[in-house]
Amino acid sequence: MTLNSGTPIEGKPSAQHPAPIAAITRAPGTGLLDRLFKTAVVILTLFILLAILFGIGRSAIYKIHAYERGLHLRGGRFISVDNPGWHIQIPLVDTVIIVKVNERLGYIERIAAMTSDDVTMDVSLQYTYRVLDPKRFALEVDNPERIVFEFVQGKLRDVVNTKDMTEVMHSRAELNREVMETLREKEEQYGVEFITVQIQSASPPEEVVTAIKDRMVAVQRQEQAQAEAAQRRTLADAEYYTAQKEADGEAYQITKLAEADAQRISLTSAAQQEAVRAMLEELRGKGELAEQYIQLLIAQELKENSKWIISGTDTAPVIELRDTP
């Protein structure tokens, strides 16, 4: 193909037809975008570095509060107990276990415990303790709070087993003291100190309470019956005493009346005898008329008496005039 020397080849610039300026130079805003991009990269890098440093600082610096203690471990080995304040650790190497050492509250609610007189009691206990040795409490005891709870519960049952039902219900101060004494046996081992122990409630089950109430009612009724019987006995004794005194008075009165009657009869008889004796002496030797008068007197006397005493000498024969069978 023959080309004219004056016609340039399509797509290739020539001296007569230079390339456009837009094809060989940048746009006016390209440099500003590059600078903004570089600035953003620098800021982002700084932010990332600051975040990394902040994270490292937070993991390296820690604070222990006044109610806490820190167990500082390095590579799993115990180093020291950290007191309240700011401390430094090596990130990813050291470990700090925070242990609260302020007073804690525990509560045992209605556990069944057998007394020495074989009565099952429902007992509730409240106790408080604090951690004295955080290393022993957290590192030498697995689940220490649970172990302390179970230990207190077991000791409570042991103490209740030595008491009868009445002591458990009415001697709580003594029961608290004995429970506290038994708890102190394990304080050093668990790294704690027990502060208070208080029995909240102690009562037998419902069926036992019902039986106790029935027995109390029976005892009250028995006491009431005994009181009424004693009152009746006292009244009977008083009535008997009064009747006896009345009987004694009547017997005494009858005795005195009988004695007076006997004395009256005796005096009357003596007087009559004296009168008859005097009359006989007067009529002695007076003849037949005197004898008839004596017979008349005897007949009149026999109408009133069945016995007659005739005495003319020292002896006084008694003539029985009543009919005898």
Residue 9: what pLDDT? 44
| pLDDT for res 4 | 46
pTM: 0.53
What would the two tokens of residue 323 be? 């009919």
Across residues 280-285, what is the average pLDDT?
Answer: 69
Longest dimension (CA), the chain: 245
Percent of the chain with pLDDT over 70: 79
Cα separation, 181 vs 135, in Å, equals 24
Work out the average pLDDT over 148-167. Answer: 93
Coil vs helix vs strand at 123:
strand
Location of structure tokens 């500082």:
72
Tokens matching residue 150: 């179970």
Report pLDDT digits (tens) over 104-136.
Answer: 999 999 899 999 988 888 999 999 999 999 999
The span from the CA of 136 to the CA of 56, in Å, is: 30
pLDDT at residue 286 greater than cutoff 70? no
pLDDT per position as a tens digit, 233-277: 888 888 888 888 888 888 888 888 888 878 878 887 778 777 777
183-242 pLDDT tens trace: 999 999 999 999 999 999 988 877 777 877 888 888 888 888 888 888 888 888 888 888
Residue 35 pLDDT > 70, yes or no? yes
Q: How far apart are CA 166 and CA 3, in angstroms?
A: 133
Q: What is the pLDDT of residue 295?
A: 73
Taking the CA atoms of 199, 204, 205 and 210 in sequence, report the sign of the dihedral they define. Answer: negative
Contact 170, 91 (CB under 8 A): no
Q: How far apart are CA 225 and CA 212, in angstroms?
A: 20
The burial class, CB within 10 Å (0-12 / 13-18 / 19+), for 294 is: middle
Mean pLDDT computed over 311-324 = 48
What are the tokens at 50? Answer: 């600051």
| DSSP codes joined into one string, 160-213 | HHTS-HHHHHH-HHHHHHHHHHHHGGGHHHHTEEEEEEEEEEEE--HHHHHHHH
- In whole numbers, what is the pLDDT of the chain averaged over residues? 80
Q: Are strands 77-82 and 104-114 parallel, antiparallel or unpaired?
A: unpaired
What whole-number distance in Å separates Cα of residue 98 and Cα of residue 134? 9
Q: Which residue has the higher pLDDT, 289 or 78?
A: 78
Per-residue model confidence (pLDDT) at position 78: 94
Q: What is the pLDDT of residues 42-67, one digit of tens each?
A: 899 898 988 887 777 777 888 999 99
**C-alpha span between 207 and 212 (Å, rounded):** 9
